[in-house]
Amino acid sequence: MKAWQHFKTITRHRNLVMLGCLRVGLVWQGLTHDLSKYSPTEFCIGVKYYQGTRSPNAAEREENGYSQAWMHHKGRNRHHYEYWTDMSRASGQYEAVPMPRKYLVEMVMDRRAACIVYQGERYTDGSALEYFDKSREKSLMHEQTKRELRYLLTMLKEQGEEATFRYMKQSVLKGKPFPWEEE
């Protein structure tokens, strides 16, 4: 039963991201979003830790101190900022690099969909921003990516889905500058 519930959850999430990506013109990314979640490495662990109210990766991490499924996932899916780290020649340390805009937009769609799936009727256009603001991930993300993501999530909260999707399609994905870059 947990296998079917997990399958339905990840498929609903994937479909929401796909529809969002299609609305802004990211056809290939929409069609291929999160396919690794159906791989044995991610799916089997997802079933074992399935709860329906949050990511199974969190439960796996609590039990083992790390999430094997998450490590597999983030290394194969470019819409996660963790994918965008590399060894810096200057420091000799792993550092975040800016995310390309098409993956930034997919990340917005991903976060929005995750909130819709896990929050259900409690979801609002501000949910993804609230989650981002409460998280510790900001310290690991490249400053440019963090600023762009926060801007888009704030726009989603304040102006809604229609305006934000239009802005991402007509401005972000066309390479136009963000407001602070025009100064």
How much is the pLDDT for 136?
A: 87
Q: What is the residue whose two structure tokens read 């603001």? A: 133
Flag whether 123 is in a domain: yes
What's the pLDDT tens digit per position in 93-143?
A: 999 999 999 999 999 999 999 999 999 999 999 999 999 999 988 889 999
Distance CA 4, CA 25 (A): 31
Q: Which helix (H) or strand (E) holds 15?
A: helix 2-24
**Does residue 151 have a pLDDT over 70?**
yes
What's the pLDDT tens digit per position in 39-69?
A: 999 999 999 999 988 999 999 999 999 999 9
Flag whether 43 is in a domain: yes
Helices 143-167 and 101-119, axial angle in degrees (round to 10)? 70
Stretch 151-164: mean pLDDT, rounded?
Answer: 98
Q: Contact at 8 Å (CB) between 8 and 20?
A: no
Confidence of residue 182 (pLDDT cuts 50, 70, 90): confident
Q: Where are the beta strands (DSSP E) in 36-128?
A: 85-87, 94-96
Q: Which helix (H) or strand (E) holds 136?
A: none
Q: Which helix (H) or strand (E) holds 56?
A: helix 56-64
Give the range of the structural domain holding residue 137, as residue numbers without chain letter. 2-176
Identity of the amino acid at 15: N
How much is the pLDDT for 183?
A: 63
Q: For the chain, what is the radius of gyration of the CA atoms? A: 16
Percent of the chain with pLDDT over 90: 96
**Does residue 90 have a pLDDT over 90?**
yes
Q: How many structural domains comprise the chain?
A: 1
